[in-house]
């Protein structure tokens, strides 16, 4: 079994191969890259390679058949510690790091990694969703990161450097994961059966911006329909914000009864808007516009109408990014959509987001 | 795989193994017990990644060898509820089939290869000691281990294996407990000087519990990453803790500089308990004064009150005073019999107190400041 199933990160792989071969593998890595570009898969593959008992780690080529490889794949390997955010939590609970109340300091990642290896090789800990470490959680890790136990490798997966505490950043080797190329995403979409036709997959890949996850989300035709409604409306500064806010809220509500799918959908809508303003800003500065046909056409149409110039597009873009953070901070969705739309409408005309009365 | 087994014997082994399997785990396969059946016999394994157990099960007829994982909850219930003398297990494509005389269960099964195997005791170099000695070593040191701070190395018991003895040491930085017991090194087994054999407290607890027959002989082998203890049909595996244990020999005070006070556990403990009645969480210090044929224990807590307890002792020399945390002193009394004699070696109020018994047990307590 080779690295074939991991696409598009050959440079990172080569880096690790050299480090392991020279015996200079660091103990803490922070994998940074957009969501769903294969960071987790890469980390697991690396763990498999380091723990494989047939092929030497320096080959970085797990055999896939030995007990160790089988157990890494089943996530049951005793020297592999996996921590991820539980589905029903917004943060990684500290229990997973230092044990729950009764077993404080006697369980969890920080404890487990101080035990000597079970199978004699290395110990690999992977913290998925390191973005969701809260301050307490991140602080729990500091001691372990500062004095990593011998023969241990810790991998934190994150979407952005800014989402990690400086104390964590400074203690880890940062490995950047580039967005996947559209061709790779399109091929993966077909392979995973999300869409049947390569043509359609290419369209989704274009919208995916290098993230497979994003491409899969926009595979939902309803979303693309809404985007086709949204962009022309945003293209007019001072658009009537109340009806569009109402439509957006209704569209978001259709995502489901629970809050998480609604939030996810609203974030996507905000990202659509952000992309539009980003390209519009480029166009107003006289730069080339990138994107799919719909986006390019709508930007072209909006350029003469945005008389306030690139500042207006920049203000709108900033407001979209801010709104996205507000969604993640658990703002009330209906109120947020109203405020966001109202601000976009005024900022498009004025060139800045007016202060609230 | 196909086996027939005696239900009662099997259940006994299963319960011992089930005690190790975690009830909740991020790795669900650990909530199973693995059974390896070969022509020569059947072996049960359970682990929670830190501690593992391996039990040879008797009364199993192996028709077709193989491996299987049995869910602790469900399979345990079958063993409990079905009253047949013999049961039969078959592993098939669709799952695990458990058959009694008039009952049949099909359980979904997981891939036994995904279960982390527990190491077997194949060492030729090991230490042999009596179960009684090992149990005592663990009982008298375990309480001093510090399993709540982030200093993980102190959360275990340090084992030092010498030619004719095994020494166990535990400390939390404020007190230290050390005991040596006679043992025989087989083929020159000894803990390598560069690796410290620090066994997690939880593993030690489990080993202590497993020592039920005190007359038995226990084999213990320390390896670079783990320690294996063989007790009868069971082998207990424990991963060691990384890190360095403090140099405990430097902590033990010199006995010759100190005044030796001979005491008996029973009366000393009774006096301590009385003196501690007025102690509180904020004020745990008890002032001990020994001299002139009596011991005086006194304690003062502002909002609670005062205590003053006296009892006669053999020591007749110059008076010596010390203040100690009553809980630390009580921990020492609790692991000893009431009739046991011990020596309290005291130098002065600022030096560590050393409690010693004649069976190679030493307990050091750091004193509290007197002027509180």
The strand pair at B361-365 and B175-182 is best described as antiparallel
CA distances for A273 relative to A218, A356, B24, B196, angstroms: 14, 22, 44, 60
CATH of segment(s) B2-114: 3.10.150.10
Residue of B nearest to A95 (CA): B26
Of B117, B150, B226, the CB nearest to A116: B226
Of A71, A96, A106, the CB nearest to B116: A71
Average pLDDT over residues A21-48: 91
Domain B252-365: which CATH class? alpha beta
Residues of A in contact with B152 (CB under 8 A): 105, 111, 114
CA end-to-end distance (rounded Å), chain A: 63
Across the interface, do B242 and A111 touch by the CB < 8 Å criterion?
Answer: no
Interface size between A and B, measured as CB pairs under 8 A: 74
**Consecutive H or E run containing B73:** helix B72-81
Contact in structure between A344 and A273 (CB atoms under 8 Å):
yes
Long-range CB pairs of A181-186, under 8 A, 24+ apart, other chains included: A181/A8, A181/A210, A182/A206, A182/A208, A182/A210, A184/A7, A184/A8, A185/A210, A185/A211, A185/A212, A185/A215
* Rg value, chain B, Cα: 25
Buried b / exposed e along A16-30 (16+ C-beta atoms within 10 A): bbebbeeeebebbbb
Asked if B254 has any chain A CB less than 8 Å from its own CB, the reply is no
Across the interface, do B241 and A76 touch by the CB < 8 Å criterion?
Answer: no
For residue B286, the cross-strand partners are: B324
**What integer pLDDT is reported at residue A1 of this predicted model?**
42
Interface test with A, best of B26, B204, B224 (most A CBs within 10 A): B26
Residues of A in contact with B24 (CB under 8 A): none
Name the pLDDT band for A183 (thresholds 50, 70, 90).
Answer: confident
Domain A10-176: which CATH class? alpha beta
Asked if B192 has any chain A CB less than 8 Å from its own CB, the reply is no
At residue B302, φ and ψ (nearest 5 deg) are -45, -55
Across the interface, do B29 and A82 touch by the CB < 8 Å criterion?
Answer: no
Tokens matching residue B343: 């020596």
DSSP 8-state secondary structure symbol assigned to residue A150: T
The reply to whether domains B2-114 and B126-248 share a CATH topology is yes
> pLDDT by residue (tens digit) across A43-71?
999 999 999 999 988 888 899 899 999 99
Across the interface, do B147 and A106 touch by the CB < 8 Å criterion?
Answer: yes
Residues of A in contact with B191 (CB under 8 A): none
Interface test with B, best of A48, A66, A76 (most B CBs within 10 A): A76
Contact in structure between B182 and B193 (CB atoms under 8 Å):
no
Residues of B in contact with A116 (CB under 8 A): 224-226, 239-242
Across the interface, do A76 and B47 touch by the CB < 8 Å criterion?
Answer: no
Residue of B nearest to A106 (CA): B147
Residues of A in contact with B149 (CB under 8 A): 105
Across the interface, do A76 and B49 touch by the CB < 8 Å criterion?
Answer: no
Contact in structure between A79 and A118 (CB atoms under 8 Å):
yes
Domain ranges of chain A: 10-176, 220-350
**What integer pLDDT is reported at residue A180 of this predicted model?**
87
Which residue stretches of chain B have pLDDT < 70?
A: 191-194, 371-372
Contact in structure between B137 and B197 (CB atoms under 8 Å):
no
Q: How far apart are CA A297 and CA A307, in angstroms?
A: 18
Across the interface, do A105 and B30 touch by the CB < 8 Å criterion?
Answer: no
Across the interface, do B49 and A71 touch by the CB < 8 Å criterion?
Answer: no
**What integer pLDDT is reported at residue A35 of this predicted model?**
83
ipTM for this model: 0.86
- Centre a 10 Å sphere on the Cβ of residue A267 and count the other Cβ atoms it contains: 17
Average pLDDT over residues A159-166: 90
- Asked if the model's pLDDT at residue A96 lies above 50, the reply is yes
Residues of B in contact with A115 (CB under 8 A): 49-50, 200, 239-242
Q: What is the dihedral of CA B132, B138, B139, B144, to 10 degrees?
A: 160
Those residues whose C-beta lies under 8 Å from the C-beta of residue B46, and which sit 6 or more positions away, are B17, B18, B20, B21, B30, B33, B34, B52, B53, B72, B118
Tokens matching residue A199: 């043509």
Across the interface, do B116 and A118 touch by the CB < 8 Å criterion?
Answer: yes
**What integer pLDDT is reported at residue A101 of this predicted model?**
81
**What integer pLDDT is reported at residue B191 of this predicted model?**
65
Closest to B145 (Cα-Cα) out of B179, B161, B169? B169
Asked if B23 has any chain A CB less than 8 Å from its own CB, the reply is no
**What integer pLDDT is reported at residue A7 of this predicted model?**
77
Across chain A, mean pLDDT equals 90
Name the pLDDT band for A244 (thresholds 50, 70, 90).
Answer: very high
Of B116, B226, B240, the CB nearest to A76: B116
For B63, how many CA atoms within 13 A lie in the half-sphere containing its CB?
9
Residue of B nearest to A152 (CA): B242
Across the interface, do A70 and B111 touch by the CB < 8 Å criterion?
Answer: yes
Residue of B nearest to A115 (CA): B241
Task: Name the maximum alpha-carbon separation found in chain B.
Answer: 82
Q: How far apart are CA A268 and CA A324, in angstroms?
A: 9
At residue A28, φ and ψ (nearest 5 deg) are -130, 130
Domain ranges of chain B: 2-114, 126-248, 252-365
Residue of B nearest to A141 (CA): B150
Those residues whose C-beta lies under 8 Å from the C-beta of residue B25, and which sit 6 or more positions away, are B31, B48
* CATH code 2.60.40.1220 for B126-248: no
Tokens matching residue A24: 């200079």
For residue A7, the cross-strand partners are: none
CA distances for B130 relative to A119, B135, B199, B210, B223, angstroms: 29, 9, 19, 13, 20
Asked if B25 has any chain A CB less than 8 Å from its own CB, the reply is no
Q: What residues of chain A have any CB closer than 8 angstroms to a CB in chain B?
A: 67, 70-71, 74-78, 82-83, 96, 98, 104-106, 110-112, 114-120, 143, 149-150
Closest to A54 (Cα-Cα) out of A106, A107, A1? A1
**What integer pLDDT is reported at residue B149 of this predicted model?**
81
DSSP 8-state secondary structure symbol assigned to residue A53: S
Residue of A nearest to B32 (CA): A76
3-state SS, A70-125, equals HHHHCCCCCCEEEECCCCCCCCECCHHHHCCHHHCCCCCHHHHCCECCCCCCCEEE
Residue of A nearest to B237 (CA): A118
Contact in structure between B263 and B344 (CB atoms under 8 Å):
yes
Asked if B181 has any chain A CB less than 8 Å from its own CB, the reply is no
Task: Identify the weakest region by mean pLDDT among A58-72, A201-215, A287-301.
Answer: A201-215
User: How many angstroms separate the CA of residue B204 from the nearest CA in chain A?
Assistant: 14
Tokens matching residue B341: 């004699």
Residue of B nearest to A71 (CA): B114
Closest to B3 (Cα-Cα) out of B49, B44, B31? B44
Residues of A in contact with B114 (CB under 8 A): 70-71, 74, 76
Residues of A in contact with B113 (CB under 8 A): 67, 70-71
Residue of B nearest to A69 (CA): B114
Those residues whose C-beta lies under 8 Å from the C-beta of residue B81, and which sit 6 or more positions away, are none
- Centre a 10 Å sphere on the Cβ of residue A226 and count the other Cβ atoms it contains: 20
**What integer pLDDT is reported at residue A6 of this predicted model?**
79
- Centre a 10 Å sphere on the Cβ of residue A200 and count the other Cβ atoms it contains: 15
Tokens matching residue A32: 């940074």
Q: How far apart are CA A9 and CA A87, in angstroms?
A: 28
For residue B99, the cross-strand partners are: B88, B104
Interface test with A, best of B152, B156, B197 (most A CBs within 10 A): B152
DSSP 8-state secondary structure symbol assigned to residue B101: S
> Where would I find the H helices in chain A?
10-21, 39-51, 67-73, 95-98, 109-112, 135-146, 166-169, 182-191, 198-208, 212-217, 221-234, 241-253, 259-284, 293-302, 310-328, 333-350
CA distances for B306 relative to A83, A155, B302, angstroms: 51, 56, 8
Q: How far apart are CA B202 and CA B216, in angstroms?
A: 22
Across the interface, do B239 and A118 touch by the CB < 8 Å criterion?
Answer: yes
**What integer pLDDT is reported at residue A2 of this predicted model?**
57
Asked if B20 has any chain A CB less than 8 Å from its own CB, the reply is no
Closest to B301 (Cα-Cα) out of B289, B284, B314? B284
């Amino acid at each position: 079994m080779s690295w074939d199933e991991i696409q598009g990160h050959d440079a990172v792989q080569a880096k690790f191969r050299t480090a392991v071969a020279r015996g200079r593998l660091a103990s803490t890595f922070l994998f940074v890259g957009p969501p769903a570009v294969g960071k987790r898969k890469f980390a697991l593959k690396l763990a498999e390679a380091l723990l494989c008992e047939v092929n030497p780690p320096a080959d970085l080529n797990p055999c896939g058949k030995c007990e160790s490889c089988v157990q890494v794949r089943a996530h049951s390997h005793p020297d592999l510690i996996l921590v991820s955010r539980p589905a029903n939590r917004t943060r990684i609970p500290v229990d997973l790091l230092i044990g729950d109340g009764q077993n404080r300091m006697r369980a969890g990642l920080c404890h487990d990694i101080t035990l000597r290896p079970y199978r004699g090789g290395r110990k690999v800990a992977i913290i998925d969703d390191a973005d969701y470490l809260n301050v307490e959680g991140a602080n729990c890790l500091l001691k372990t990161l500062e004095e990593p136990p011998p023969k241990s490798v810790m991998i934190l997966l994150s979407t952005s450097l800014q989402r990690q505490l400086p104390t964590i950043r400074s203690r880890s080797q940062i490995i950047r994961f580039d967005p996947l190329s559209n061709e790779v995403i399109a091929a993966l979409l077909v392979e995973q059966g999300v869409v049947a036709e390569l043509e359609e997959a290419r369209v989704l890949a274009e919208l995916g911006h290098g993230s497979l996850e994003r491409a899969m989300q926009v595979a939902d035709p309803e979303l693309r329909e809404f985007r086709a409604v949204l962009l022309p409306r945003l293209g007019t500064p001072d658009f009537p914000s109340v009806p569009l806010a109402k439509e957006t809220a209704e569209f978001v509500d259709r995502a489901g009864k629970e809050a998480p799918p609604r939030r996810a959908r609203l974030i996507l809508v905000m990202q659509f808007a952000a992309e539009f303003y980003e390209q519009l800003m480029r166009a107003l500065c006289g730069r080339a516009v990138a994107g799919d046909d719909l986006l390019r056409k709508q930007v072209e149409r909006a350029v003469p109408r945005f008389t306030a110039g690139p500042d207006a597009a920049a203000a709108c873009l900033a407001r979209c990014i801010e709104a996205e953070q507000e969604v993640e901070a658990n703002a009330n969705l209906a109120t947020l959509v109203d405020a966001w739309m109202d601000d976009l409408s005024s900022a498009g005309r004025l060139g800045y987001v007016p202060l609230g009365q | 795989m196909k086996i027939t087994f005696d239900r009662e014997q099997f259940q006994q082994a299963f319960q011992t193994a089930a005690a190790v399997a975690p009830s909740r785990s991020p790795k669900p396969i650990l909530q199973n017990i693995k059974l390896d059946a070969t022509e020569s016999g059947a072996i049960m394994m359970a682990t929670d990644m830190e501690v593992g157990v391996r039990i040879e099960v008797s009364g199993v007829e192996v028709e077709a060898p193989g491996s299987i994982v049995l869910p602790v909850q469900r399979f345990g219930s079958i063993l409990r509820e079905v009253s047949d003398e013999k049961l039969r297990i078959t592993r098939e494509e669709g799952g695990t089939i458990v058959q009694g005389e008039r009952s049949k269960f099909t359980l979904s099964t997981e891939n036994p290869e995904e279960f982390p195997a527990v190491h077997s005791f194949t060492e030729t170099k090991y230490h042999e000691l009596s179960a009684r000695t090992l149990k005592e070593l663990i009982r008298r040191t375990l309480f001093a281990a510090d399993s709540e701070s982030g200093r993980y190395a102190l959360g275990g018991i340090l084992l030092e294996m010498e030619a004719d003895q095994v020494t166990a040491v535990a400390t939390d930085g404020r007190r230290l407990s050390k005991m040596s017991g006679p043992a025989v090194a087989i083929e020159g087994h000894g803990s390598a000087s560069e690796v410290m054999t620090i066994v997690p407290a939880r593993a030690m607890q489990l080993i202590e519990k497993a020592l039920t027959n005190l007359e038995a002989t226990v084999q213990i082998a320390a390896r670079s990453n783990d320690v294996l203890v063989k007790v009868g049909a069971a082998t207990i595996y424990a991963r060691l803790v990384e890190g360095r244990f403090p140099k405990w020999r430097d902590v033990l005070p010199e006995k010759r500089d100190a005044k030796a006070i001979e005491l008996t556990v029973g009366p000393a403990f009774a006096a301590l308990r009385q003196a501690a009645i007025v102690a509180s969480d904020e004020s745990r210090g008890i002032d001990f004064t020994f001299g002139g044929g009596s011991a005086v224990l006194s304690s003062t807590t502002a909002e609670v009150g005062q205590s003053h307890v006296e009892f006669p002792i053999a020591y007749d020399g110059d008076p010596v005073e010390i203040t100690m945390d009553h809980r630390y002193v009580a921990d020492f009394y609790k692991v000893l019999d009431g009739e046991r004699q011990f020596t309290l070696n005291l130098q002065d109020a600022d030096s560590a107190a050393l409690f010693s018994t004649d069976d190679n047990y030493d307990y050091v307590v750091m004193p509290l400041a007197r002027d509180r």
